Each structure stands twice: as C-alpha cells, then as structure tokens.
Amino acid sequence: MTNMDAVHAPEVVGNKRLSEFLARFVKSKSAVIGLILLAVLVLSAIFAPVLAPYDPYDSNLPNSLQGISSSHIMGTDELGRDIFSRILYGARISLLVGVESVFLALLCGVILGATAGYYGGKTDTIIMGFMDIMMSFPDILLAIAFMTVLGRGMEKAVIAIGIVSIPQYARIVRGSVLSVKENVYVMAAKAVGNGDRRLIFVHILPNVLAPIIVRATIGVSVAILDAAALGFLGLGVQPPAAEWGTMLGSGRQTIFNAPHVVTFPGLAITLTVMAFNLLGDGLRDVLDPRLK
Amino acid sequence: MANYIIRRLLLLIPILLGVSLATFVVMHAFTTDPTEIILGQHATAEKVAALRIELGLNKPIYVQYWDYLSSALQGDLGRSVITKTSITAELVKRFPATVELSLVAMIIASVVGIVAGVISAVKQNSVWDYGTMVAALLGVSMPIFWLGLMMIILFSVILGWFPASGRIGIGLEPEHITGLYVLDALMTGNLSSFWDAFKHLVLPGIALGAYSAAIIARMTRATMLETIRQDYIRTARAKGLKERVVIVKHALRNALIPIVTVIGLQLGQLMAGAVLTETVFSWPGIGSYVVDGIMASDYPRVQGTVLLIGTIYVLANLAVDIMYSYLDPRIQHS
C-alpha cells in the first residue's frame, strides 16, 4: 500500500458506509415516509411567517369560534385567532421542545451511562440505582411533579421532560458500553496509553451510536407528546403561545359548540409524533436489524 | 426461584425508600411556601411562625423526612393544605375508580391488541395487516387526551351514545362492596346501575387503552411472525390440524410470554395515562386528584399521590419480572 492509499483509505471506507446506509434507508418505506413528513413539518415551521395567512396572536373577538371557511381553512379559536396560522407557528414550539429536551436527556444520559458502564463497581451501582428510582415513576407523572416545582413555561417544560428521559438513554448507553468495552480494539487503544475519557468518547461511543440514534429519534416523539400533555394540563407552555397542547387545553371549554378548535391541534401533534415514530422505526431497521 | 423472589423483594426496600425520598425532596423544593397558600400573602409573621410549627416546617429537613416516612409507613400521608381532609382517606375513596378504569382499559387493550396482532401476523402483508399496523401507529402517535376529546365529540355530542364525563349518574351509585361500580352493581343485581356505570366506562376505557392496545398489537404481531415460522408449527400443520388450532393452541400459546410481559409493563403506563384520561373525562380517581392538587399548589396531596403511583408502578414491574421467570423456566437467576 502506498502512502497515498493509506491517506485515502478511511475516507473511502467512510463513503462506502454512507452509500450503503443511504441505499438501505431509501429501501425502508417507514424511514422515507417519516423523513418526508418531517421535512414538510420543519419547512412549515421555518416558513410559518410566509405561509401563515394571519398573525397567530391577533385576536378578533367578533370573529371568534368561526367554523371552517375559505378565509379560515381551520376556523378560528375562542379569541378569533386563525387556527391554521397558530398551528404553523406551533410547529416551531413543538419541534423545538422535542429536540431540545432529547438533546438535554441525551447529553446527561450518555455521560452517566458511559461512566456507569465503563467504570462499573460502585460508580455503576450508584448511578444506575438513581436511574432505577427515576424509572420508578411513569414519565409524565415525574414531568408533572417537576413542573410543579420548576414553575410553568417552555424552557421549564424542556428541562422537566429532558430530566425524566435521562434514565432511558443512560440504560442504553451503559448496556452498549458494557458490551463493547472488552473488545480487542478497546483493549488495544487502552494499551497504547489512551486516557479514560478518550477511550469512552473516541473509541467506545462511536461504536454504540446506532441504538442511541434510534432511541433519540423515537424519544423526540415521546417528548412532543409529553410537552403536549403538560400544555394541555396548563403546566407547560403558557397562553397566548401557540403550543398545540396548550391550544387543546384552552379549546376544551368550547368542545360542545366548536369542536374544530380541538380537532386540528391534535391532528398536528399526531402527525408530528407519527413522523418521528416512522423515522425511528425505519432507522432501527436500517442501522441495526438486530434491534427489530 | 424462591431466592430470586426474596432478593427482589429485599431490593424493593432501597428502591421504595428512594421513591419516597425523591418525592419528598422534589416537593419540598416547591416554589410556593405552603404557609402562603393557607394564610395568603398578607398574614402576620406570628401567624406564619405558628403555622410553620403546626406543619412541622420549622424542623430540620431530615427530621421532616423522617416524620413523613414514619407516618407514611403507618398509612398517614398527611392532610391537604386546602381542604384539610386526610389524603389517605381521599386516596382510598378514589382508588377504586382508577383501578376500575385501568382494568377496563387493560382488558380492552389486551383483547384488541392480541386479536389484531394475531390476525396481522397470520395474514402478513394483506390489507388486514397494513390496516392493523397503520392503526397501531396511530395508537402510539395520538395524544390520549386528544383521542378522549375526539370520542366525546363523536359519541357524546354528535351521536349521544355515551356520557361525556363522570363515573355514574346521580343517585345510581351501587352499594359499596369492592368500590368497582360495575362489579358492585352486578353483585347486588342492580342492573340499571350496572348499565349506567358501564356506559360511563366505555369512552375513557378506550381512550386509556388505545396506546397499550397498539403496543400489544405490535408485539403480538412480531412474536407471532417468529413463532409461526418454527418447525413445530410446520409439524402441527403436517399432522393435519385445523389452521385455527395451530394458530391458537400451538403458536399463540408459545408467543404469549413476551406478550404477557408487555401487558404487565403497560399496567404502570396506565396509571400515568389515568392522570390525563381522568382529567378529560372528569373521572373521580387519583389521577384527577393529583392534577387538581397541582392546580391548587396543594403539595402534600401531590406528594402523597405521586408516592402511591410510584409504589404501584414499582410493584407492578416486580410482579411482571417474577411472573416472567415463572412462565419461562429457561430464564436463570444467578
């Protein structure tokens, strides 16, 4: 092998892997449908100011609780605001809350899980014991308890949902670290003098990414559902913000005379959660068929 | 096996202690001072100090935890700061409502989930299969409170088939035996109460059970697909057994272990779902009790209910683990 080959070899391998991944990805129906749905949602969130026919916060009381019409394709809410415009803007909040809380959970979960799995012994017992206690509560109940303490609002919802999801990631990462840490390549990396941190982050974690990515994708859908539930209970994002769960919560009062007010925000949540579920299922098939 | 069960039961102690400590710490970091909730913002310092002594808030935090734990172990979860009523008494009163709702949801979820999953697997890649899987995907993607609202709109407001809220009509409560209205009404032969209680259960039961039904259907399909490809199924067919016998007696029975596990794990999930379902349907269980407690900043109420749900969740998971090893003797416990 010449020097030139040696320099290019990893890149060639990387490109091959990527093309293999893409080939399998486009074959997975659920992955493709999920990605397309998600792309539509992300684009409508980004271009909400262009796409929305009205200002989502512009109330117009004489126009309240209007049904579906050509001027308001999803009708208006109890304050006369255009529901379609609010749903477009709401996509921004839901996607942000979902992604941010998973990011927070992932960050803490990876650090805790990797530490527990790598060091084992007492460190493992303490960290995982703590995770077990957190897992002794249903997610949403724990999130509700945290919101009672933290107060209401979008950032707090992100923190509460993020915290309650930490154990899921810690468990997966710990399990994966345990399964690869005895591999020869990790031993070799250790033998040549790599420090613990480098071993964990450079040699171990990249090899356990598949289950983490799959879990995180499905995790976003769970986070969006939890955020909507908090909003619905009046604990999450506060009015007048156009959060879908909050819209459902306030629309509940008018369910008997204007059912459209609660119909569309719920559909939006369902579609978004479905997009992440489909993408997660598809990624699982593509990245790690053993997880099926 | 006995050793395993004893070890798991002993392990419950630190976990339940942790659960109680977690609820205590979280609730005591509560932003609103309970004295402020009770006395308002303009109370005199003397009154506040007296109330702090009465509530035990003047003691060091670890003493407060110890007091709380020892009372909780004796079944006393304190008093609501708003209504002053005993939280334990209120939970005891409301618990059967949540149990009844969760049981109905569990039955709906298991029956629908298993039947749909089996049909889906047996008729793989057919319209039935695709339909079931799309429905299951919808089931895991829909917020249960939205499903509840949609069902109220369709079946209560438009069609008028089922009531939109509550547990039973006024004056129809059956004589108290188990606290489960449907059962009590049947036991006392009170058919009008039975019918009314049943009608009240349908919508919240479906709303609460839908998510679990979807999970069970997916799991049943996956395990059935694996099982029906096994050699012994081919043998059963080769013997000339009827297809229905092959599927139900040979395949489903062997596929049941993972399905039963998933059903057990859903039990805890139902307790969480009950919080949302009970809010939508004004169901007088512990879920709506905790939500009302949060709205009123009534922290002992939230603390007591969260502790109760956490404990049930832990016990349900333990029961599943034990049952799992009982059902599958291949599982070894070192």
Whether the Cβ atoms of residue A105 and residue A165 lie closer than 8 Å to each other: yes
| Neighbour tally for A22: CB within 10 Å | 11
CA distance linking residue B264 with residue B139, whole number of Å: 18
Which residue from A283, A279, A101 is spatially nearest to A210, judged by alpha carbons? Answer: A283
CA distance linking residue B114 with residue B251, whole number of Å: 13
What is residue B248's DSSP assignment? I
pLDDT exceeding 70 applies to what percent of chain A?
93
Query: Can you give the pLDDT at residue A1?
Result: 42
Query: Can you give the pLDDT at residue B155?
Result: 96
What does the pLDDT average to over B112-138? Answer: 93
Query: Can you give the pLDDT at residue B30?
Result: 57
pLDDT digits (tens, 9 = 90+) for A55-104: 998 888 888 888 888 888 899 988 889 999 999 999 999 999 999 999 99
User: Which of A41, A94, A130, A133 would you mutate first to test chain B, the one with the most B CBs within 10 A?
Assistant: A133
- Which residues of chain A are within 8 Å of residue B138 when distances are taken between CB atoms? 270, 274
Amino acid (one-letter) located at A252: R
Q: Which two tokens stand for residue A38?
A: 């998600």
CA distance linking residue A74 with residue A88, whole number of Å: 11
Top-ranked range on mean pLDDT: pick from A237-251, B55-69, B291-305: A237-251
Amino acid (one-letter) located at A136: S
pLDDT digits (tens, 9 = 90+) for B156-191: 999 999 999 999 988 888 888 888 999 999 999 889
Which residue from A218, A242, A86, A231 is spatially nearest to A157, judged by alpha carbons? Answer: A231
Q: Which of A146-150, B119-123, B321-325 has the lowest mean pLDDT?
A: B321-325
Give the minimum alpha-carbon distance from B111 to chain A in angstroms, rounded to a whole number.
24
Residue A290 pLDDT exceeds 80? no
Q: Of B228 and B88, which is predicted with more confidence? A: B88
Ordered by start, the domain boundaries in chain A are 27-48+75-291
Residue A230 pLDDT exceeds 50? yes
Which residue from A19, A290, A51, A84 is spatially nearest to A179, judged by alpha carbons? Answer: A290
Main-chain phi, psi angles of B176, to 5 degrees = -75, 115
Q: Which two tokens stand for residue A78?
A: 């109890």
Please judge whether A232 and B306 are an interchain contact, meaning their C-beta atoms are less than 8 angstroms apart: no
Considering only the beta carbons, identify the residue of B22, B145, B297 that sits closest to A229. B145
Top-ranked range on mean pLDDT: pick from A141-150, B45-54, B272-281: B272-281
What does the pLDDT average to over A204-228? Answer: 89
* Adjacent-strand bridge partners of A82: A76
CA distance linking residue B256 with residue B250, whole number of Å: 11
Considering only the beta carbons, identify the residue of B141, B157, B279 that sits closest to A270. B141
Residue A5 pLDDT exceeds 80? no
Which residue from B324, B222, B129 is spatially nearest to A291, judged by alpha carbons? Answer: B222
Give the minimum alpha-carbon distance from B310 to chain A in angstroms, rounded to a whole number.
5
Please judge whether A266 and B15 are an interchain contact, meaning their C-beta atoms are less than 8 angstroms apart: no
* Adjacent-strand bridge partners of B60: none
Would you state the CATH architecture of domain A27-48+75-291?
Orthogonal Bundle (1.10)
Whether the Cβ atoms of residue A228 and residue A266 lie closer than 8 Å to each other: no
Q: Is the pTM of this model over 0.95?
A: no
Amino acid (one-letter) located at A164: V
User: Which of B19, B25, B137, B141 would you mutate first to test chain A, the one with the most A CBs within 10 A?
Assistant: B141
Q: Which of A106-110, A141-145, A286-290, B79-83 has the lowest mean pLDDT?
A: A286-290
User: Which of A126, A134, A139, A141 would you mutate first to test chain B, the one with the most B CBs within 10 A?
Assistant: A141
Query: Can you give the pLDDT at residue B165?
Result: 92
Question: What's the pLDDT band for A4 if we cut at 50, 70, 90?
Answer: very low
Top-ranked range on mean pLDDT: pick from A2-16, B32-46, B67-81: B67-81
Q: Which two tokens stand for residue A34?
A: 């999920």
Q: Which of A61-70, A135-144, B144-153 has the lowest mean pLDDT?
A: A135-144
C-alpha distances in angstroms, B58 versus B53, B63, B64, B82, B291?
6, 10, 9, 20, 28
In sequence order, the 6+-apart residues with CB closer than 8 A to the CB of A215 are: A168, A169, A172, A280
In sequence order, the 6+-apart residues with CB closer than 8 A to the CB of B71 are: B77, B78
CA distance linking residue B78 with residue B86, whole number of Å: 6
Residue A13 pLDDT exceeds 70? no
pLDDT digits (tens, 9 = 90+) for B268-278: 778 778 889 99
Query: Can you give the pLDDT at residue A10?
Result: 55
- Is B86 in a helix, a strand, or coil? strand
Please judge whether B15 and A136 are an interchain contact, meaning their C-beta atoms are less than 8 angstroms apart: yes
ipTM: 0.86
Query: Can you give the pLDDT at residue A6?
Result: 46
pLDDT exceeding 90 applies to what percent of chain B?
37
Compute the half-sphere exposure of residue A68: CA atoms within 13 Å on the CB side of its CA.
7
Considering only the beta carbons, identify the residue of B157, B276, B314 that sits closest to A256. B157
Query: Can you give the pLDDT at residue A268?
Result: 96
B169: left (phi over 0), alpha (psi -120 to 50) or beta: beta
Residue A2 pLDDT exceeds 50? no
Which residue from B126, B299, B131, B272 is spatially nearest to B212, judged by alpha carbons? Answer: B272
| Neighbour tally for A281: CB within 10 Å | 21
Taking each helix axis from N to C end, the angle separating A209-232 and B144-151, rounded to the nearest 10 degrees, works out to: 40
Top-ranked range on mean pLDDT: pick from A89-93, B63-67, B288-292: A89-93
Query: Can you give the pLDDT at residue B46?
Result: 82
Segments in chain A forming alpha helices (H): 3-27, 29-46, 48-51, 83-119, 121-134, 139-150, 154-180, 184-191, 196-198, 209-232, 244-251, 260-287
CA distance linking residue B302 with residue B293, whole number of Å: 6
Residue B130 pLDDT exceeds 90? yes
Question: What's the pLDDT band for A291 if we cut at 50, 70, 90?
Answer: very low
CA A119 to chain centre: 29
Chain A / chain B CB contacts < 8 angstroms? 128
All domains of chain B, ordered by start, with CATH?
Answer: 96-295 (1.10.3720.10)
What does the pLDDT average to over B28-34? Answer: 64
Query: Can you give the pLDDT at residue A95?
Result: 94
Peptide bond into A10 cis (omega under 30): no
Amino acid (one-letter) located at A167: P
- Which residues of chain A are within 8 Å of residue B142 when distances are taken between CB atoms? 266, 269-270, 273
The mean predicted confidence, pLDDT, of chain B is 86
